[in-house]
A and B are shown apart, each in its own frame.
Chain A
Amino acid sequence: MLKIDNLHVAVEGQEILKGLTLEVPAGEVHAIMGPNGSGKSTLAHVLAGRPGYEVVSGTVTFQGRDLLSLPPEQRAREGMFLGFQYPVEIPGVNNVYLLKAAVNAARKHRGLPEVDAFEFLTLVREKMHLMRMDESMLSRGVNEGFSGGEKKRNEVLQMLVLEPRLAVLDETDSGLDIDALKVVANGVNTLRAPERSLVLVTHYQRLLDYIVPDRVHVLVKGRIVQSGDKTLALELERRGYDWLIGEPESPGRRAAGHDGRAASAIEGARLAGRPS
């Protein structure tokens, strides 16, 4: 499904991904974990085609095609979905109509007629119910005035309606309380299928209690330094990332794996102005 080979990516001249290699076969769920600033979000954005990320070298193939040669909109139509860490608010653009436009763009790409409006709304309502979203969100602007948790649910709702072949969820668990996390995980789990792959980018093992991954990869300084099955996530939860980083760390840095807030504050200060 997705094959990344020796990918080097720079942002504003600074190399963030330094030879990342990863393969996600169809039907599998892979988790990418790692400390702040390791390049997790960069990976997610590069896959979606965000401008400003310079691919220095390496290849990414998606369903056998060169993903990097496609513009973002075409990646989406080919079945690639990015769940944003920070979903953007777009006042004035209706939530449900954006969804419909997205579905129709993909259908047109596959030579299918436009979706029937009534059937579409029925489907959206059903998925909203699953995501425990209020129907009033249908008529609102995209993410307009949504709380952090509502935005994340809305991302998963879009994914459920679009039924992508490959979904990359960038820290979809961050900022969610435990009930919302379960709802989001439940939504994601309904999408698991033999023909579909999921990449979960996350800091914490907690999400993986509810979405059990087939593989777990640890991204440190732009490279996958360790891969394993779901037990690797448990080990990271217990031991933190230090044993994988391979160099002496400050006490604050050691807290990274255990205390997200402390880690964020420290990393946030250190990485100010730099994409992570």
Chain B
Amino acid sequence: MSAALLARLKDEYGAVRGALPDSVVGGARRREAIETLCAQGLPATREENWRYANLRVLERARFAPCPCAAQVADLPAPLEGFPRLVFVDGVLAAGEPVQHAGLEVHSLRSGAQGADSSSAQRIAALPEARLALLNEAFATDGAALRVRREAGAARIELLFVACAPAQTGASYPRVHLSIEAGARLTLVERHLSAGDEASLVNGALRVDLAEGACLEHYRLQQTSARAAWFDTAEATLAKDARYSLIALSAGALAAHSTVHIRLAGPGAEIALCAAAIGDRQQSQDTYVLSEHMAPRTRTEQIFRGIASGRARVAFNGKIAVRENARGTDSRQSLRGLLAGPEAEIDLRPQLEIYTDEVRCSHGATAGKLDENMLFYLLSRGLEPEVAQRLLKWAFLEDVVSRIELPELRRCIEHELAGRMSELASLKELLR
């Protein structure tokens, strides 16, 4: 399978390379990305970190970028106070010029930022991250954001809409985000589908946080039930930088996300709260590596996953503490809820410690809905379906309660209610 697939990948690249914009990624880097990928091979489920991913979707997809889609109607309402950029199939489609002092936003295709050659090597440094090379080779546009200290509390929403079916090509969302020393940004990143096409989305995100920079990042993956959604994110945190990432993945037939956090400066801090909901045949797979490379760095990792139907929900959370990362403090809490006899939950907490004087705690549990809780709710007169959905929702509370934007929180609760209940009144059963 793999050799034929790689041959096809090369062919597709050869056929379209002349049309790929240099301003997004230079031609030499694209070629290098394809060569590296061909040398390493595409990810396979025999590899530990891809074991639970659904990679079969790649076999049916066309790798070359899909043709530019028409404008998309019926976008969700923008969040108040958040300027918004809309990318359709990875290409900037709409967005008011952002008028916020200290916040620079460019489309990569516009070339205003200039291609950043350091990003590719960084993102694809890990074998787990090599789908980022695919993005590197084929990306047609993306967003470059730079936040300076004078931006104060800057905010922005990036909306990525998948339209095209995978047979006509893939889309490659790409984001370069750089937050300068002492600057702050709240970023809402949403991935949706315009219809119910089986699109292939393969995103790459690079985040650089300078000293004392602060990023509050909300990531929602709500693509169509037939889509394949792959994503590779890499963040590097300098001294005392703080990164809060709240990720909710509920869409796609096959979703796989790789997150690599490099705590490179002393005192840097990552709080990653992820929730994944899988139903029917969905696979939701996440790999997170938190790499402690400097003293007094902190990681908090929370994952809550619910698998119903025949879904598979997996989370592989690794915390690596390097030699000089004394005083590291990491906490990990992974929980899975099996809500169907054929569903599957796979949780892998991993700790790799190469120094002393660290505090690392971790816990992972997977189980069914608690019979005692269920009976308690029934004994108060609640319908069994409502009771079950209520308990599922409550299970996600540890993640949802971290959302500090009321409007976004309501939006997510609404989304969850839509997924887990036809009953609008359910929402008010929650705190």
Binding site for B on A (CB under 8 A): 48-51, 71-73, 75-77, 81-82, 84, 87-88, 90-94, 97-98, 100-102, 105-106, 109, 139-142, 158, 162
Assembly CA distance A34 to B87 (angstroms): 71
> Which residues of B sit under 8 angstroms from A106, Cβ to Cβ?
381
Beta-carbon contact of A93 and B429 below 8 Å: yes
User: Which of A81, A82, A97 sits near B431, CB closer than 8 Å?
Assistant: A97
Q: Are B373 and A88 in contact (CB under 8 A)?
A: yes
Q: Which of B169-227 contact A (CB under 8 A)?
A: none
Q: Is the CB of A139 within 8 A of B431?
A: yes
Q: Does B382 contact A (CB under 8 A)?
A: yes
How many whole Å from B54's CB to the nearest CB in chain A? Answer: 30
C-alpha spacing A162/B425, complex, angstroms: 19
Tell me which residues across on chain B come within 8 A of A48, comparing CB atoms.
379
Contacts of A101 in B (CB 8 A): 380-382, 386, 425, 429
Contact in complex: B379, A93 (CB < 8 Å): no
> Cβ of B394 and Cβ of A90 under 8 Å apart?
yes
Residues from chain B with Cβ under 8 Å of A102 in the complex = 380-382
Instruction: Indicate whether B376 reaches chain A with its CB closer than 8 angstroms.
Output: yes
Q: Which of A97, A106, A140 has the most CB of B within 10 A?
A: A97
B408 at interface by CB-CB < 8 Å: no
Do the beta carbons of B397 and A92 come within 8 Å of each other?
A: yes
Interface size range on B against A: 20 to 34
Nearest residue, chain B, Cβ from A86: B372
By the criterion CB–CB under 8 Å, are A92 and B386 in contact? Answer: no
Is residue B364 contacting chain A, with contact meaning CB distance below 8 A? Answer: no
- B390's nearest neighbour on chain A, judged by CB, is A93
Question: Is B375 engaged at the interface, CB distance under 8 Å to the other chain?
Answer: yes
| Distance, CA A49 to CA B379, complexed state (A) | 8
B68 at the interface (CB under 8 A from A): no
> In the complex the two chains form, is B381's CB within 8 Å of A90's CB?
no
Report B383-431 residues with CB < 8 Å from chain A CB: 383-384, 386-387, 390-391, 393-398, 425, 428-431
Nearest 9 A-B pairs (CB), nearest first?
A: A92-B394, A92-B397, A76-B381, A105-B381, A102-B380, A94-B431, A72-B378, A88-B376, A73-B378
Least CB separation from A82: chain B residue:
B379
Known: A73-B384, A98-B380. A93 touches B430 (CB 8 A): yes
Note all chain A residues with C-beta closer than 8 A to B376: 84, 87-88, 90, 142
Closest Cβ of chain B to A220, distance in Å, is 27
Residue of A nearest to B392 (CB): A92
Q: Which residues on the B side are within 8 Å of A105 (C-beta)?
A: 380-383
Contact of B379 among A72, A90, A100 (CB under 8 A): A72
**Do A94 and B378 touch (CB < 8 A)?**
no
20 interchain pairs, CB-CB under 8 A: A72-B379, A73-B382, A73-B383, A75-B379, A76-B378, A82-B379, A84-B379, A87-B376, A88-B372, A90-B391, A91-B397, A93-B391, A93-B394, A94-B429, A101-B386, A101-B429, A102-B381, A105-B380, A105-B381, A158-B380
Q: Which residues of B contact A76 (CB under 8 A)?
A: 378-381
Residue from A77, A87, A91 in contact with B381 in the complex, judged by beta carbons closer than 8 Å: A77
* Chain B residues close to A by CB (< 8 Å): 370-373, 375-384, 386-387, 390-391, 393-398, 425, 428-431
Determine the chain A residues whose CB is within 8 A of the CB of B384 once the complex forms.
Answer: 71, 73
| A109, B382: Cα distance in complex, Å | 11
Q: Contacts of B428 on A, CB cut-off 8 Å?
A: 97, 100
Among A48, A88, A106, A162, the most chain B Cβ lie within 10 Å of the Cβ of A88
Query: Which residues in A have their C-beta under 8 angstroms from that of B386?
Result: 101
Known: A73-B378, A73-B382, A90-B376; 19 extra A-B contacts, CB below 8 A, are: A51-B371, A73-B383, A73-B387, A76-B379, A84-B379, A88-B372, A88-B373, A90-B394, A91-B397, A92-B394, A92-B398, A97-B429, A98-B377, A100-B428, A101-B382, A102-B382, A106-B381, A141-B431, A162-B380
A65 vs chain B, min Cβ distance (A) = 16
B430 near A97 with CB under 8 A, answer: yes
Closest to A139 in B: B431
Whether A90 lies near B380 (C-beta < 8 A) is: no
A209–B383 Cα distance when bound, in Å, is: 38
B140 to chain A, nearest CB (A): 42
Which residues of chain B are within 8 angstroms of A91 by Cβ–Cβ distance? 394, 397
A49 to B425, CA, bound (A): 26
Q: Kindly state the separation between the CA atoms of A87 and B378 in the bound complex, as whole angstroms.
A: 13
Shortest A232–chain B CB gap in Å is: 29
List of B residues within 8 angstroms of A109 by Cβ: 381
Nearest residue (CB) in A for B400 is A92
Q: Which residue of A lies closest to B393 (CB)?
A: A92
A117 to B386 Cα, complex, angstroms: 20
Which of B371, B387, B396, B430 meets A94, CB within 8 Å?
B430
Q: Measured between C-beta atoms, what is the minimum distance from A156 to chain B in Å?
A: 14
Complex formed: what's the CA distance from A76 to B379 in Å? Answer: 6
Q: Which residues of B contact A139 (CB under 8 A)?
A: 431
User: In whole angstroms, how far apart are the Cα atoms of A73 and B381 in the complex?
Assistant: 4
Q: How far is the CA of A141 from the CA of B372 in the complex (A)?
A: 15
What's the Cα separation between A228 and B386 when bound, in Å?
43
Q: How far is the CA of A82 from the CA of B380 in the complex (A)?
A: 8
Give the complex CA separation of A195 and B3 in angstroms.
79
Give A215 to B382 CA distance when docked, in angstroms: 32
A51 touches B391 (CB 8 A): no
A252 CB, nearest partner CB in chain B, Å: 30
Nearest opposing residue in chain A for B394, CB measure? A92
**Which of A50, A93, A102 is packed against the most chain B CB atoms within 10 Å?**
A93
Residue numbers in B under 8 Å from A51 (CB-CB): 371, 375
Chain B residues within an 8 Å CB radius of A141 = 394, 397, 431
B383 to chain A: closest residue by CB: A73
Q: Which residues of B contact A71 (CB under 8 A)?
A: 378, 384
Which of chain B's residues have a CB closer than 8 A to the CB of A82? Answer: 379
Judge whether A90 and B375 touch: CB under 8 Å. Answer: no
Residues of A within 8 A of B430 (CB): 92-94, 97
